[in-house]
Amino acid sequence: MTALAHDRYCDEILFQTDRLRETLKDADLAARVPSCPDWSLRELVVHVGGAHRWVSEIVRTRTTEELPDEDVPDADGPSGDDPAALDAWLAEGAAATAAALREAGPDTALWTWAREQRTAFWARRMAHETAVHRADATLAAGTGFEVAPDMAADIITEWLEIVSFAQSEGDPEALELRGGGRSLHLHATDVPGAEWLIEFGEDAFTWRHAHERATVALRGPLTELMLAFNRRQKPDEGGLEVLGDRGLLDFWLERAAFG
């Protein structure tokens, strides 16, 4: 399970945005989002569309410094409550982001908030950001959610990389994810090879793809596994099964919340 191709991520930004737009049709935009309770469905969409425009501007200008929000044109979404205007705004932002990323290619040097300082980071991040927030929208709208297995697996892997980066940067909650002799195993039962073993060391945690006995295991369908690991549903929902020390799994989920 490795990172996907640059063009695939660009494709997924558009695909996931289109699926999000479908979810919004006839939905109550004032409904609260269960997995992001501070947001209404409309606020969730504005967050996604604003992120698209922010990244598009970073890539377009090849900036090497963090871009202030106020320097991003039209990032706050359309005024008023017209669903059609919101839909068009969301589609326009995704298209601009994918186009800017394709034009730049994966290796253009620019600012990111992570170790990887090139466009490849933003293509992957925006594809995953859009997919996971689409899951949030389906929860608010009461519709189903599906994602391609390689995307679901890559979302899990990227999240591990993000939490590891947060730990290395001194994030207080991520720093607690250590202490030798404990481990967490993620096991997708429907996709061969989609397994992750997270091991708590004295100074930090590490992870690798492996099928080994652990202190606690979370196993079940890959998409459901991804949703639970990203705290979009409970670990015992969606056909998932927790084996072993549930407290350690909860400990991880409570602290792996960077950003």
CA-wise closest residue to 122 among 63, 41, 45, 75 = 63
Give 41-97 pLDDT, tens digit per residue.
999 999 999 999 999 999 999 999 999 999 999 999 999 889 999 999 999 999 999
- Together in a domain, 153 and 136: no
Number of structural domains (the chain) is 2
The pLDDT value recorded for residue 258 is 62
User: Residue 19 domain-assigned?
Assistant: yes
CATH number of the domain where residue 17 is located: 1.20.120.450
41 and 66 part of one domain: yes
CA distance 229 to 223: 10
Q: State pLDDT tens for residues 200-219.
A: 999 999 999 999 999 999 99
- CA 6 vs. chain centroid, Å, equals 17
Question: What pTM does this model have?
Answer: 0.96
Indicate if 154 and 133 belong to the same structural domain.
no
Q: ∠213-222-16 over CA atoms, to 5°?
A: 150
**Does residue 173 sit within a domain?**
yes
pLDDT tens-digit profile of 83-97? 999 999 999 999 999
* pLDDT value of residue 108: 98
Check whether residue 20 and residue 121 sit in a common domain.
Answer: yes
pLDDT for 1 equals 41
Is 131 a member of any domain?
A: yes
Q: Indicate whether 155 and 70 sit together in one domain.
A: no
Domain assignment of residue 242, given as a range? 149-255
> What is d(CA 9, CA 195) in angstroms, rounded to the nearest whole number?
22
